[in-house]
Amino acid sequence: MFRHLLVAVIATGLVQAAPVAKSLVRIETTSQEPNYKTPWSPGEVSGGVGAGFIISGNRIMTNAHVVSNARFLTVSKEGDPKPHPAKVVHIAHDCDLAILTVEEPGFFQGTVPLELGGIPAIESTVSVYGYPIGGSKLSVTQGIVSRIDFQPYSHSGMDSHLTIQIDAAINPGNSGGPVLQGGKVVGVAFQGYSGDVAQNVGYMIPTPVIKRFLKDIEDAHYDRYVDLGLSYKELFNPAARHALGLTDDDSGVLVGSVYGGGSAEGIVKPGDVLLAIDGLPIASDATIPMDNDSVPLAEVVERKFKGDTVTLDILRDRQPMQLKVPLNGPWPFTLHSNAYDEDPRFVVFGGLVFQPVDQNWMSELQPEDLRLRYTFDFYIEDKLYKDRPEIVALSGILADPVNAYASEFRNGILDEINGRKILKLSDAAEEFAKPADYYVIKMAGIGRPIVLERKAVEQARQRILSRYGVIREQNL
Amino acid sequence: MMPRTLAVLLALCLPSMAGVLPAPKAKPAIAGNLSILRVNSTSQAYDFFRPWTKKPPATRRGLGTLIEGGRILVTAELVANHTFIELEKAATAEKSSAEVERVDYECNLAILKPVDPAFLAGMQPMPFDTGVRVGDRATVLQLEPNGEIAQTLGTVTSISVGGYPLDNMGLLLFRLSAPMQQRDGSFTLPAVREGKLLGLLMRYDARSQTADIISTPVIKHFLSEAAKPVYGGFARTGIAFSITRDPQLRRYIGLQEPGGVYVTEVMKNSPADKAGLKIKDVILAVDGRPIDQDGNYDDPEWGRILFSNLTNTVFHPGDTVTFRVFRDGNTLEIPVKLEARDRSKIVSESYLVDKAPRYVILGGVIFMELSRPYLQEWGGDWLKDAPQRLVFLDAFQNELPEDRGKVVFISQILPTPDTLGYERYENLVVSKVNGKEIRSLNDVVEAAKTPVDGFQKIELEEDPGLIILDAAAIEANRDALTRKYALPALQRL
């Protein structure tokens, strides 16, 4: 998450037996990241260092990004050189938090679990603990609370939650470490800017997000954040306000889109004006009053769980109405989020490699194909998910005589095989498994099909697998 | 009717090349200098970001070639968006203004005539070359500042169908390998062989030292169309095709013949569509000439040439050409009546030259019709930098519903009290205004005449979905808006 670190801030390293030492751990990880260009291969192994802290119930809290794709993890207590193997119990990629445990008996003996505090006041002082770059021992930095706002969480790349900005130095290795005020945890250090972008801007995950995560996993399963599944815009224009039946009281936002599969589908309509959420009035800039502050209206939903309900006061065709929206699940589309702890999915047939298109795939292959880019970028906005629950692309061609004339189709979107519309990767695997003389593969927007003869595919199969080191032909 | 992978070369200016050998000194008596004129063209393009204004004027220089009939042949690009054209005799620097008699941007050719015909006295028209072959030598003419002719000798390396710059139309071009120098007058240079005109150089790639020459057959086609009472231009059949080299594909479709190309796209209302050609047809022969697996026929003069040369250059709009087609195991003879492209049906124009962009401003909201020149305002990397939805609509315009009409969008919103809160909206595609479907800017003007309950309701195809303006306030503030932003007019249709 700190990808472009340039300025290493030297932290004054004198830690004078602070009580927090009994709650801190240093986490060393060995992780393996898959390679989407050779999806069958196990991927590259790399290592990293992060911080964590002990909370109630013999649990260690850290960032999800510290332990993502981990193959082996050790934690060492502050002041104790011994590394202890640990494992991930829960991981929440959408809010960048994780819970680890150490099974070794006696590990937690003598440790002190930290308690969670509230939201610190603006301008109040906080201390950041961790193992950042610049040395190997515990480092403490201090700063003030600069801003409390919604911010994107770069780990998933798609989620935004309440975030607290502090001006204490946060550097690689600080991730997962506690931020304390008055002996209580007020945040988990997790991301920042490199020095060439902005100075003294660090971010921590505040306790409302931490508490929500802990509550969510009480049933031993993480359900993710719930979402209304709609978009809205500010309503400042006086003419628009009058036309929609509003007065000049600076309230209300206009619903732009309601997405298929989302909680609000079939309940809220585009063109509705949202006036209040759970009784809290919505201002024309899409904020609500909460905790003596004004926060984005999404914060109400942020604090809820699957199965909860949200009450919306709206205007529809100038008439006031009240709607109950059961929050039936998270934001329905995950393809634009960075994915972790997943093996790439693929099907190889006749040397043609088919893969579902998602953020991981896009960032690794960076295709320039216009149709593919459009389908990915506008998948939600233009409701392309209705036609394609999954975008399956011809992502690679393992060159062989059987596919000698397929190169112009690279990065095309798979549309049909033998007349069957392909909605998801498993459809393709099914069609390829059926016996047929010819496999006629049609790509979206291209008139000529790829034609593969079964005989030729069978003859080429072993040759392609051994020549290209393909150890697995599919992962669905 | 072009293979999709056709390379598009760089534009046509000749970059300077320090250290290149000086061109051989011109022999003073070459026939060319009696037929060559310097052409100075001052042009001014419209600013698509502010469609009511033009960009600063710029002058381009090139060499025109005098041909029969007191006409001067240049590339269309040289005179695109011209405001003033001047002819200059190389040796004496005598000048005369000129007018464009005929221009066709698809084939990149224009005919100029001096305002005073007597200006050409003493000059000689240049005849056309015939029978050039790959491997032949040809000379590109340039003018030295002192009026002398500089000659660069090169070799014809290929004769094939290639993309012409403005509309990427595939027409016959000669490619010449020649080490050219940057000189005064780099737009349009004649290429000659033994005192006869081979073609006009329209672009040069300094790295590979290759020059693309508008070929004599294309020039002759243009001139013969220009001689007709109604200029017909170059026909387009309206198909895209794919090669059939893959034996698996050939066996699957049951194709026994050795050649043929697979039709992948038939544009609606195109000559091919009207004649009944279909996707999946395999074109075996055109005008009785067999087509190979790559789409070439055997031209008696030029060798293996893409068959589009037959339909767009050998034949003329109005001619009927027979296609032999393989369909579902049968062979059919399909007569196709050739037509030039009906540009009025184009959703997003690939070029807009000599024409002002249309726009309508409603209370500060600027409506335009999508065109590629608008997207190209984002610069060389416009495919990535321009608003992506508009890029996609332009790229896939042939897949839009037939009655879609033009893509009308809000390019930007001038901040005024009436547009408060909308300042940041830009490049949003419009679906309806006051409940009426929008298929052109004229529809916007019509729909705006009937506000709904006193409001102008603009519905969008994308978020935020709806923009509402106060109809009476817009009317009342018209003058203030035009004054504040110095708008010459609130619409141009």
Contact (Cβ atoms closer than 8 angstroms) between residue B235 and residue B316: yes
Q: What is the mean pLDDT of residues A70-85?
A: 93
Residue that the structure tokens 């994780």 belong to: A98
Confidence band of A14 (pLDDT split at 50, 70, 90): very low
DSSP A404: T
Structural element, H or E, at residue A290: strand A287-290
Q: Where are the domains of chain A?
A: 1-222, 230-326, 346-475
Q: Rounded mean pLDDT of A310-318?
A: 96
Answer yes or no: are the C-beta atoms of B469 and B418 closer than 8 Å: yes
User: What is the ipTM score, two decimals?
Assistant: 0.88
Domains of chain B: 31-120 (2.40.10.120), 137-226 (2.40.10.10), 239-337 (2.30.42.10), 348-492 (3.20.190.20)
In angstroms, the separation between the Cα of residue A357 and the nearest Cα of chain B is 19
Residue B8 has a pLDDT of 33
A175 included as an active-site residue: yes
* CATH code, residues A1-222: 2.40.10.120
Residue A253 burial (CB count, 10 A):
22
Fold held by A346-475: N-terminal domain of MutM-like DNA repair proteins (3.20.190)
pLDDT at B14: 34
**Residue B345 has what pLDDT?**
86
pLDDT above 90 as % of chain B: 83
Query: For the purposes of burial, counting CB atoms within 10 Å of the CB of A44, is it exposed (0-12), middle (13-18) or buried (19 or more)?
Result: exposed
- CA separation for the pair A317, B73 (Å, rounded): 64
The CATH superfamily holding the domain A230-326 is: PDZ domain (2.30.42.10)
> pLDDT grade, residue A81 (50/70/90)?
confident
Task: Tell me the per-residue pLDDT of A323-370, one tens digit each, with 9 for 90 and over.
Answer: 999 999 888 888 999 999 999 999 999 999 999 999 999 999 999 999
Say if CB B79 and CB B100 are below 8 A apart: yes
Token output for B236: 């387009």
Contact A445, A395 (CB under 8 A): no
Is A221 catalytic? The answer is no
Distance CA A223, CA A473 (A): 32
Query: How big is the CA angle at B8 (ends B6 and B9), to the nearest 5 degrees?
Result: 140
Spatial CB neighbours of B322, under 8 Å, sequence gap ≥ 6: B286, B287, B288, B333, B334, B335, B336
Q: What is the pLDDT, as a whole number, of residue B411?
A: 98
Spell out where B338-398 has E strands. 359-362, 365-369
- Is A155 catalytic? The answer is no
DSSP assignment of B129-190 equals P----TT-EEEEEEE-TTSPEEEEEEEEEEEEEEE-TTT--EEEEEEEE------S--S-EE
> Where residue A18 falls among pLDDT bands split at 50, 70, 90?
low
Q: In the prediction, which pLDDT does B19 show?
A: 34
In chain A, which residues touch B (CB < 8 A)? 231, 233-240, 242-244, 254-257, 270-271, 370-371, 373-374, 377-378, 381-382, 402, 404-405, 408, 438, 440, 445-449, 451-453, 456
What is the predicted pLDDT for the residue at A17?
A: 42
Give the pLDDT confidence score for residue B184 in this predicted structure. 55
3-state secondary structure of A22: helix
Which of B246, B251, B422 minimises the CB distance to A405?
B246
Which residue in chain B has the smallest CA separation from A383? B462
* CA closest to A368 among chain B residues: B384
| pLDDT for the residue B296 | 98
Contacts of A454 in chain B (CB under 8 A): none
**Token reading at A183:** 């002996």
Which residue among A243, A371, A452 places its CB closest to the CB of B468?
A: A243
Alpha-carbon distance A247 to A243, whole Å?
10
Task: Say if the Cβ atoms of B464 and A256 lie within 8 Å.
Answer: yes
A14-18, A122-126, A254-258, range with the lowest pLDDT: A14-18
Instruction: Write down the catalytic residue from A94, A96, A216, A272.
Output: A96
Which one of A23, A65, A68, A415 is the catalytic residue?
Answer: A65
The predicted model gives A216-234 an average pLDDT of: 95
Q: Which is nearest to B239 in space by CA: B213, B209, B276?
A: B276
Residue ranges with strand state E in A365-428: 392-397, 414-417, 420-421
Could you tell me the CA-to-CA distances from A330 to A226, A256, A441 in Å, in that order? 4, 19, 34
pLDDT of residue A6: 26
Q: What is the pLDDT of residue B32?
A: 45
CA distance A311 to chain B (A): 23
Strand B149-163 and strand A280-281: the pairing is unpaired
Could you say which residues of chain B have pLDDT below 50?
A: 1-32
CB contact under 8 A, A239 and B468: yes
Structure tokens, B15: 């970059």
Contacts of residue A240 in chain B, CB cutoff 8 Å?
421, 466-469
